[in-house]
């Protein structure tokens, strides 16, 4: 049985020999290279963009600027506020003003230096809390308070609920601007053939790209073909449309020659970021250890354009409540414009910042009330059947199991005392995350007369092993050997619709679509086999690559051959369309919940503030695990990734300019940053449904570490990242009389 | 100028071009890639006379006449190098963008020190970044390869 | 972009090329800094004078007057050299913690010192050891104590036509002990927040005869504090004296702020690590 086996990734040999065809390797005949020319000002009127001198550089084929854009110059996932290249205004340092297509990068760079650009500076604002104040610079006329989206959740009467509390806690937690930092940058190539456009791009959402491009270009979606090879990492940064519009429009000026844009590492930092966020949690508790109310206010720094935020901010609202029974909940989740690069999804989208807040506050509450942080959690964690703050009933939730699994991996015995000699402490974090509420996945399975099955899927392979998992599910659905399955895609002209590969939705949703296709295929095979075996369909079953009954059987391949069919195809689909009331957030927010927990044991050097993670245990609920090794890799990988925002990742800014746009000054976790001991547990449920595992163990990392630091040395850090300097500063403040 | 790459001799133009550019653009060896451009991530790792270098900050001219090995040069008669085999068996990758770099570093490490301790492995590989976070499996793969 | 790549076989030839081409030429040693600057379009010299083929340029040898290190010696070779390890394990350690193995395979000590990046490791240890830079120029050879070699951010005492040809580290008495510490405040990788190199010589009673401590990475140029060092002369390095010396360093220096730490934090770390390194020197081995 293929499902449940740790088979190697389908293209594992290519991965160890460096022959994977990443976007960065794409070469097309007659290809030009592209370069983006970017704004040096955080906020300005664009008075002049003169390309005349630049056009004379030998090797330059075409230059794209605002005037080239047609009627649909503005686009956006929801709010169309972003121009393909700047029209009359720039709103962040790094915003594309022009694009150059040339025979060589040298020519493009020479031309870039010859562009004559004039700005009229405007006041700029970079902090979300400042941006909403009266008098702050306004980025988009329609939004005079710079708030472009306000998602609301209203569940029960807050005033009464807070009145019932014995203690009320109010804390502010912040997360800084950060960057997804996939090792492969954004790479996109485009080629026009008449009115048909082909775009090769490193994107997690090919059909979203297709739709938006068709809108911008004013051509039918069928005229746009999006092809996505395996990605060198994405982590949400490639989850929404990025440079595809610029590249597609640029390619219209090259006389049919394809043009490829490869962003540099520095450009990555001005292309998409992780929302900086300030989260205020006001929580009421009773002395009996239960909650009465929680009020959440989140300011998400969306950057200069709405971009993906209108999709993410409502999700952030749902993800900010936490996995505990709280009768009254109110959330206000704001998306705010500032003169920074646009923010998008970053692994554990919105949950990363939200879990930092609610799990940190759990320990603040526990300590002040004299409760054990672990017991306080276990007492209040949701169980199946409970109702969430949206009113929906929770099913298949295993938070308690996750937390117990993580905590259980810690050394036995009471926490060490906080004193000068022993600086070791323990902390926990639990995460509750929704996935995409409305989306659709289709899968097409083709069986040929040699018995080989090909799965056509638009799920993107970005290292998580999605194609391998889908192949295993296909094999399981048809009950044929894994080795007989091939996977094709994504290619929007060939593979059927999928909303997106993100929010850890694919194993569940595409997986279910594959199961549906497989079930349909089995039924079809039975129908075709019946007459051949002269046995009624109801007595037949499809098993082990054959249609059979007790006394007779025929292989799938023979069924096709004897029917004169070279192949059979079946389409499967799985979708959810869940809605919430726009004023109250009541409804159903997710088809199922993602659950993860972490336990950290840290040592703090009280003289330097430096944190060493001695042991970290991560547990996630994985439902029915398709590939145990790949699931473990995801669990481990998420913890290691999570060390970044927890301890080291922070974009530095000066007047809106990113001053550390490189991996030397913006560190990401290295092999020596890994906890001395890392334990990971996937809690499975054999009868359960297929479940996502792409993000679960990441968000608990930061609060678990902060909680362990408080346990060790009695200081509370509320602003990420938890640096040695912050810890030392807090230690010294605490010792002051 | 002549570059000796994976056992073959190639006439190339150097100029101010890095070895990374020449390998990819002139010789079509796409396994070596840029990840950061400043020598921090190791995605551009190549072996020069058996030692690992960041080809993104090495001029092609500086490697002239030396024996350069890229990821493409490890296989023998279509068979995976033992280090590649160990990485495959231990699932020591996810998106695998960093994998050629880690594999070559491991080859160099084991040539220098056939039985490294765990901490020596981590120190040697400390300059290779894996954003997907496959470090644990990578260390297991190296440990397996050292026994071969 | 076409570039002329010259490969002189000795330092006089290299200096002559530099003089001949003037502003148009740039020296390239290991090539780490130069290649990165070329890639980022910070420089565009038509001529590169490579020191890669200078005979004996990378030699590492002991002599009666000291440890002689050729400027072209790679950091990795220095780190692994038994000559260096015997001479001073702390110095080998200072080379070993630079960057990563790949950088150390390529970077030379001459290139490292000439670049005068404030966030470097070897300078602090070499200055604590009293090392000098050997320089060759149109006016012949001269020696510059490394303590006077660094003038500011990315600025050294080298004149435009001069080349750093080697380092001499004076002999250490057998009674001396040294220690080096690189403190990374954020990731385990990357450049230091603070570098501390210390050398102390002890008499038979365990009193300190002489002390040199150099601080790097936290300040614009690597520095010693004479007044603090003087406190140790003739004294036993008690915990109290060590704390006082560390405090003196923390007060005397003017630390900088960058992504690895603020000036405040660096001042704290100077105090902590001068203390720790001095204790290592006092209690440990060479």
Widest Cα–Cα separation across chain B: 43
pLDDT reported for residue C2: 78
pLDDT reported for residue A690: 81
Bridge-based pairing of strands A611-623 and A593-604 is antiparallel
**CATH top class, domain C4-50:** alpha beta
Residues B57 and B91 in one domain: no
In B, which residues are within 8 Å of A238 by CB distance? none
Tokens standing for A246?
A: 């610029």
Inter-chain touch C265–A668, beta carbons under 8 Å: no
The answer to whether residues A230 and A200 touch, using CB atoms and an 8 Å cutoff, is no
pLDDT reported for residue A503: 80
pLDDT reported for residue C285: 57
pLDDT reported for residue A420: 55
Tokens standing for A349?
A: 């989208």
pLDDT score of A269 more than 70: yes
CATH number at residue B142: 1.10.150.120
Nearest residue to A288 (alpha-carbon basis) of A330, A329, A325, A331:
A325
What confidence tier does A688 reach under pLDDT thresholds 50, 70, 90? confident
* Domain presence at residue B28: yes
Residues (pLDDT < 50) of chain C are: 286
User: How far apart, in Å, are the Cα atoms of A450 and each of A432, A446, A562?
Assistant: 45, 11, 12
Tokens standing for C171?
A: 């002999």
CATH of region C178-283:
3.30.390.50
Kindly report the nearest CA distance between residue A146 and chain B, in angstroms: 34
CATH 3.30.43.10-classified regions of chain C: 4-50
Kindly report the nearest CA distance between residue C186 and chain A, in angstroms: 6
Residues B97 and B48 in one domain: no
Residues B34 and B87 in one domain: no
Which one of C101, C107, C188 makes the best mutation probe of the B interface by having the most chain B beta carbons within 10 Å? C101
Place of tokens 């003037």: C22
Inter-chain touch B99–A671, beta carbons under 8 Å: no
The answer to whether residues B76 and C128 touch, using CB atoms and an 8 Å cutoff, is no
Which residues of A have a CB under 8 Å from any CB of C? Answer: 106, 109, 607-608, 610, 647-648, 650, 652, 659-660, 664-670, 672-673, 723-725, 728-729
> What is the number of structural domains in chain B?
2
User: Does residue C100 belong to the interface with chain A, where contact is any CB pair within 8 Å?
Assistant: no
pLDDT reported for residue A416: 56
pLDDT reported for residue A686: 74
Tokens standing for A328?
A: 């009254």
Bridge-based pairing of strands A328-337 and A343-344 is unpaired
* Domain presence at residue B89: yes
Share of chain A above pLDDT 70, in %: 99
The answer to whether residues A147 and A338 touch, using CB atoms and an 8 Å cutoff, is no
pLDDT score of A417 more than 60: no
Residues B63 and B22 in one domain: yes
The CATH number of A273-436+582-735 is which of 3.90.470.20, 3.90.1150.10, 3.30.365.10, 3.30.70.260? Answer: 3.30.365.10
Helices (H), A574-700: 628-643
- The string of pLDDT tens digits covering residues A18-49 is 999 999 999 999 999 999 999 999 999 999 99
Tens digit of pLDDT at every position of chain B (148 positions): 999 999 999 999 988 899 999 999 999 999 999 999 999 999 999 999 999 999 999 999 999 999 999 999 999 888 999 999 999 999 999 999 999 999 999 999 999 999 999 999 999 999 999 999 999 999 999 999 997 6
CATH of region C60-169:
3.30.465.10
Architecture of domain A31-122: Alpha-Beta Complex (3.90)
Nearest residue to A57 (alpha-carbon basis) of A112, A98, A117:
A112
Nearest residue to A563 (alpha-carbon basis) of A444, A449, A453:
A449
User: How far apart, in Å, are the Cα atoms of B119 and each of B113, B135, B142, C214?
Assistant: 13, 13, 12, 29
Residues B57 and B29 in one domain: yes
Residues B91 and B136 in one domain: yes
Bridge-based pairing of strands A328-337 and A291-303 is parallel
| Count of CB atoms situated within 10 Å of the CB of C187 | 25
ipTM surpassing 0.95: yes
Inter-chain touch B40–C189, beta carbons under 8 Å: yes
In A, which residues are within 8 Å of C190 by CB distance? 664-665, 667
Residues 6+ apart with CB under 8 A from A575: A438, A439, A440, A441, A509
- Chains in contact with chain B (at least 3 beta-carbon pairs closer than 8 A): A, C
Note down the domain range covering B120: 82-146
Residues A64 and A71: their CA atoms lie apart, in Å, by 15
Nearest residue to A180 (alpha-carbon basis) of A90, A251, A252, A242:
A242
Chosen domain end from B52, B71, B90: B71
pLDDT score of A579 more than 60: yes
CATH 3.30.390.50-classified regions of chain C: 178-283
- Chains in contact with chain A (at least 3 beta-carbon pairs closer than 8 A): B, C
Widest Cα–Cα separation across chain A: 92
CATH 3.30.465.10-classified regions of chain C: 60-169
- The string of pLDDT tens digits covering residues A110-144 is 999 999 999 999 999 999 999 999 999 999 999 99
CATH number at residue B50: 3.10.20.30
Each domain of chain A, given as residue ranges in start order, spans 31-122, 273-436+582-735
User: How far apart, in Å, are the Cα atoms of A685 and each of A266, A477, A507?
Assistant: 44, 18, 15
């Amino acid at each position: 049985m293929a499902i449940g086996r740790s088979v190697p990734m389908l293209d594992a040999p290519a991965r160890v020999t460096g022959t994977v065809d990443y976007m960065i390797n794409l070469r097309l005949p007659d290809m030009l290279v592209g370069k983006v020319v970017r704004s040096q000002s955080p906020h300005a009127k664009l008075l002049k963009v003169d390309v005349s001198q630049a056009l004379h550089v030998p090797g330059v084929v075409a230059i794209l600027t605002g005037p080239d854009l047609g009627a649909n110059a503005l686009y956006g996932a929801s709010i169309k506020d972003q121009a393909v290249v700047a029209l009359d205004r720039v709103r962040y340092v790094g915003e594309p003003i022009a694009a150059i297509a040339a025979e060589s990068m040298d020519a493009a760079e020479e031309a870039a230096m010859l562009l004559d650009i004039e700005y009229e500076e405007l006041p700029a604002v970079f902090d979300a809390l400042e941006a909403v104040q009266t008098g702050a610079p306004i980025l988009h006329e329609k939004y005079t308070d710079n708030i472009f989206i306000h998602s609301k959740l209203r569940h029960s009467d807050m005033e009464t609920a807070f009145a019932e509390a014995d203690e009320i806690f109010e804390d502010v937690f912040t997360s800084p601007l950060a960057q997804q930092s996939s090792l492969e940058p954004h790479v996109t190539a485009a080629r026009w053939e008449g009115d048909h456009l082909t775009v090769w791009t490193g994107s997690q959402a090919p059909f979203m790209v297709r739709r938006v491009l068709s809108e911008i270009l004013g051509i039918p979606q069928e005229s746009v073909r999006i092809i996505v090879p395996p990605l060198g990492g994405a982590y949400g940064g490639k989850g929404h449309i990025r440079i595809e519009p610029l590249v597609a429009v640029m390619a219209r000026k090259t006389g049919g020659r394809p043009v490829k844009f490869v962003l540099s590492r520095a450009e990555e930092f001005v292309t998409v970021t992780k929302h900086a966020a300030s989260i205020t949690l006001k929580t009421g508790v009773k002395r009996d250890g239960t909650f009465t109310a929680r009020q959440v206010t989140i300011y998400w720094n969306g950057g200069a354009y709405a971009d993906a935020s209108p999709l993410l901010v409502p999700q952030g609202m749902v993800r900010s409540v936490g996995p505990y029974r709280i009768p009254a909940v109110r959330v206000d989740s704001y998306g705010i414009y500032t003169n920074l690069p646009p923010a998008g999804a970053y692994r554990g989208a919105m949950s990363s910042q939200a879990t930092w807040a609610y799990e940190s506050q759990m320990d603040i509450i526990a300590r002040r009330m004299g409760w054990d942080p672990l017991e306080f959690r276990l007492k209040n964690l949701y169980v199946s059947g409970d109702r969430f703050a949206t009113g929906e009933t929770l099913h298949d939730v295993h938070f308690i199991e996750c937390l117990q699994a993580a905590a259980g991996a810690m050394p036995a015995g009471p926490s060490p005392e906080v004193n000068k000699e022993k600086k070791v402490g323990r902390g926990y974090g639990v995460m509750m995350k929704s996935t995409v509420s409305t989306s659709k996945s289709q899968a097409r399975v083709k069986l040929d007369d040699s018995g080989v099955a090909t799965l056509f899927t638009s799920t993107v392979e970005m290292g998580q092993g999605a194609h391998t998992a889908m192949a295993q599910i296909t094999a399981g659905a048809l009950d044929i050997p894994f080795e007989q399955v091939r996977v094709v895609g994504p290619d929007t002209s060939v593979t059927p619709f999928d909303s997106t590969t993100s929010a850890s939705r694919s194993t569940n949703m595409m997986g279910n679509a594959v199961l549906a296709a497989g079930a349909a295929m089995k039924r079809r095979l039975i129908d075709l086999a019946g007459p051949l075996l002269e046995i009624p369909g109801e007595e037949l079953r499809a098993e082990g690559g054959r249609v059979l009954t007790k006394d007779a059987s025929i292989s799938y391949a023979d069924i096709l051959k004897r029917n004169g069919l070279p192949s059979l195809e079946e389409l499967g689909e799985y979708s959810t369309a869940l809605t919430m009331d726009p004023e109250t957030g009541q409804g159903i927010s997710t088809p199922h919940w993602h659950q993860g927990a972490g336990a950290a044991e840290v040592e703090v050097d009280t003289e330097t503030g430096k944190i060493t993670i001695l042991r970290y245990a991560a547990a996630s609920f994985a439902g029915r695990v398709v590939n145990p090794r790949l699931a473990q890799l995801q669990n481990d990988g998420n913890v290691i990734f999570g060390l970044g925002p927890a301890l080291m990742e922070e974009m530095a800014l000066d007047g809106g300019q990113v001053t550390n746009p490189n991996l030397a000054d913006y560190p990401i976790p290295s092999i020596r940053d890994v906890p001395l001991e890392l334990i990971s547990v996937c809690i499975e449920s054999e009868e359960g449904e297929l479940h996502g595992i792409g993000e679960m163990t990441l968000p608990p990392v930061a609060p678990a570490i902060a909680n362990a630091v408080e346990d060790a040395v009695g200081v509370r850090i509320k602003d990420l990242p938890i640096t040695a300097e912050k810890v030392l500063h807090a230690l010294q403040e605490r010792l002051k009389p | 100028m002549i570059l000796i790459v994976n056992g073959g001799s190639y006439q190339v133009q150097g100029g101010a071009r890095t070895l990374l550019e020449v390998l990819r653009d002139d010789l079509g060896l796409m396994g070596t890639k840029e990840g950061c451009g400043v020598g921090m991530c190791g995605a551009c790792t190549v072996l020069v006379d058996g030692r690992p270098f960041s080809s993104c900050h090495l001029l092609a001219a500086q490697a002239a006449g030396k024996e350069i090995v890229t990821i493409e040069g490890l296989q023998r008669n279509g068979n995976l190098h033992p280090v590649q085999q160990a990485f495959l068996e231990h699932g020591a990758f996810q998106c695998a963008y960093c994998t050629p770099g880690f594999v070559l570093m491991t080859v160099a490490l084991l040539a220098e020190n056939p039985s490294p301790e765990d901490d020596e492995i981590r120190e040697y590989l400390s300059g290779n970044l894996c954003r997907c976070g496959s470090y644990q499996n990578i260390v297991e793969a190296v440990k397996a390869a050292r026994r071969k | 972009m076409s570039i002329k790549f010259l490969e002189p076989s000795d330092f006089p030839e290299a200096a002559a090329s530099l003089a001949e081409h003037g502003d148009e030429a740039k020296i390239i040693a290991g090539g780490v800094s130069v290649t990165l600057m070329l890639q980022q379009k910070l420089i565009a010299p038509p001529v590169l004078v490579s020191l890669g083929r200078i005979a004996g340029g990378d030699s590492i040898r002991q002599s009666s007057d000291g440890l002689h290190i050729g400027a072209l010696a790679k950091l990795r070779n220095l780190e692994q050299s038994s000559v260096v390890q015997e001479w001073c394990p702390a110095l080998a350690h200072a080379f070993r913690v630079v960057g990563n193995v790949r950088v150390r395979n390529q970077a030379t000590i001459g290139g490292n010192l000439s670049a005068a990046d404030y966030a470097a490791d070897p300078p602090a240890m070499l200055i604590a050891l009293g090392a000098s830079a050997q320089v060759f120029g149109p006016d012949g050879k001269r020696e510059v104590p490394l303590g006077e070699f660094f003038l500011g951010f990315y600025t050294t005492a080298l004149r435009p036509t001069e080349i750093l040809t080697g380092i001499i580290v004076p002999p250490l008495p057998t009674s001396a002990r040294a220690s080096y510490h690189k403190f990374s405040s954020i990731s385990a990788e990357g450049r230091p927040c603070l570098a501390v190199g210390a050398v102390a010589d002890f008499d038979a009673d365990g009193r300190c005869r002489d002390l040199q401590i150099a601080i790097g990475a936290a300040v614009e140029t690597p520095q010693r504090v004479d007044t603090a060092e003087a406190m140790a002369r003739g004294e036993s390095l008690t915990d109290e004296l060590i704390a006082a010396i560390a405090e003196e360093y923390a007060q005397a220096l003017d630390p900088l702020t960058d992504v690895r730490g603020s000036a405040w934090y660096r001042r704290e770390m100077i105090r902590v690590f001068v203390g720790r390194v001095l204790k290592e020197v006092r209690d440990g081995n060479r």
